[in-house]
Structure 1
Amino acid sequence: MAARTSPLRVATVNVNGVRAAFRRGMGDWLDGREVDILAMQEVRASTEDLEELLGPDWSILHDAATAKGRAGVAIASRDRAHIHRVAIGEEEFDTAGRWLEADYEVNGTILTVVSAYVPSGVAETDKQAEKYRFLDAVESRLPELAAHTPLALVVGDLNVGHRTLDIRNWKGNVKRAGFLPEERAYFDRFVGAEDQELYNDGAGLGWVDVGRKAAGDVPGPYTWWSWRGKAFDNDSGWRIDYHLATKPLADRVAGYSVDRAASYDTRFSDHTPVVVDYDL
């Protein structure tokens, strides 16, 4: 990327099918947001679809799911990536459309951005075992990313609410995938446990949950609401979309926003974009 004097704006959103999202107005949101790097999950489309929807001003990296019409991750940027990788260290995930890394050169420094889509899992099933294998791979990869560059960022739908603050109805979900103690323990290792010294400021593997750091100890702000019922209107949501940053990068956060739609009928996905400015 060219030399920058203004913050770099990185957005992530699970689009829940990018073609449907654009039909519902994602393009209007993107046109007014001045995003430099856009990470997407659950793309469920072809690279050609992405190119047509985003237009020629975007450089697009895309790892489609092995099964057509499912998962898929992408990173679109205003400049071409220096290099990109789709491996996460476990062969079964390499082409599953769930992990895509890109290196960008910004002001002489490498910034690594990962678009990640962790499986949702189902408690006490093979799907949950697959989710744990994926989280194991993430846990192994995070130190490697930090060793690769001090400025590394994993964004996306990580499908785990780390703390009780991250789910409106946490008491009703303690036995449900997304809030199981075993899942939350991974995030204790990533960023530290909430009662640990230097929690979210160098504890654990040293990564920082940018959203929790920005919001403080308050409920939410949530990033996903079911399409059903009044979940969105009642703000009965989950915070499962993250920016996980190395501490040197987290220390450069200049702004954080959850772009919650004004009303149910103006949503373009069941997730909302999470937008962060990094002063590089």
Structure 2
Amino acid sequence: MRIVSANLNGIRSAANKGFLEWLANSQADVVCLQELKAQLPDLSPEMLAPTGYHGFFHPAEKKGYSGVGIYCRREPDRVVTGLGIADIDAEGRYLRADFGPLSVVSLYLPSGSSSEERQQIKFSFMERFMPMLQQLLAEQREIILCGDWNIAHQPIDLKNWKGNLKNSGFLPEERAWLTDVLGLGWVDTWRTLYPEAPGYTWWSNRGQAYAKDVGWRIDYQLATPGIAQKARMASIYKDQKFSDHAPLIVDYDHAG
């Protein structure tokens, strides 16, 4: 079973750069999308339901902003749109699909880098999301949380960590929160598979960050222990550039 997490920084932009053609050849079973930057009427038929896939979406209310989606080969038994928290759901940040005993979630944590106000909104999201992470574990299902978490956890997770200690995405409070998330029992599949590999998934558009691989690992697949143990290999797709993020691909031994 192949699960992909991809922040598209605009689904229409990514489609113009060949994302849907890549998807057709990706052999992905479930693809979690973040940062759609589109409403449903903006999406072409191919974006709504690529050949071989069902499409589900939770756009933001604000046009050209945020939004999450899921493409899946198998039709889900159930889809949960949003967290049931009005201000968070207005920004389109959480979408869950259930397949038998497995759930896959597309998650887009707020970024705090644009202003102090947005950083406070990010902290508020983190505080309110933590009990929900506990509730998910209490369901005793296998769950994979895919998405752009907008936090690099440890120094290995970003190239220039010393220069970012006071910047959003690598603040002590953010890193401690992610440590607490893992402490609940969630497993960071990439870091478990590859303890020494940085695994960058995002590069600033400034300077030569992408060319020089001055990146951050802020896209994760966090999983419940059972399915995490079945993660066999992971990769970050950089042969084509669809966005300022690269797709994170994880293969699990799981029928379905």
Measured against the shorter chain, the TM-score band is: over 0.9
* Pair 95,85 (structure 1): closer, same or farther in 2 beyond 3 Å: farther
Measured against aligned partners, the alpha-carbon deviations of 1:48-105 in whole angstroms (never above 9, x if no partner) come to 5164234342111100001011001001101111111123253321232111111112
- State the one-letter code of the partner of 1:15: L
Structure 2 match to 1:33? 26
Give matches, 1:16-31, under 5 Å. Answer: 16-31=9-24
Q: Which runs of 5+ in 1 are unaligned?
A: 1-7, 192-203
Classify the secondary structure of the residue corresponding to 2:22. Answer: helix
Partner letter of residue 76 of structure 1?
Y
Q: 1:123 to 1:21 in 2, by over 3 A?
A: closer
RMSD: 1.6
Tell me if 1:135 matches 2:126.
yes
The answer to whether the Cα contact below 8 Å between 1:224 and 1:270 also exists between their aligned partners in 2 is yes
In the alignment, does 2:203 pair up with 1:225?
yes
Aligned partner of 1:175: which letter?
K
The question of 1:270 aligning with 2:244 is answered yes
Report the Cα offset of residue 124 of structure 1.
Answer: 7.3
- Does 145-154 or 59-68 show the bigger shift? 145-154
Pick the aligned partner of 2:147 from 152, 156, 160.
156
Residue number in structure 2 paired with 1:166: 157
2:77 corresponds to which residue? 82
What TM-score do the two structures reach when normalised by structure 1?
A: 0.86
Could you list the runs of 5+ residues in structure 2 that have no partner in the other structure? Answer: none
Distance 1:90 1:150 in 2: 23
2:135 aligned to which of 119, 124, 144: 144
Q: Quick one: which of 43, 47, 53 aligns to 2:40?
A: 47
Alignment identity in percent? 38
Confirm whether residue 206 of structure 1 aligns to residue 197 of structure 2: no
Match of 2:234, SS state, is strand
1:188-199 mapped onto 2 (5 Å cutoff): 188-191=179-182
User: What is the CA distance between 1:246 and its match in structure 2?
Assistant: 0.8
1:212-252 CA deviation, whole Å, 9 max, x = no partner? Answer: 1111134x110001223211111100000000001111011
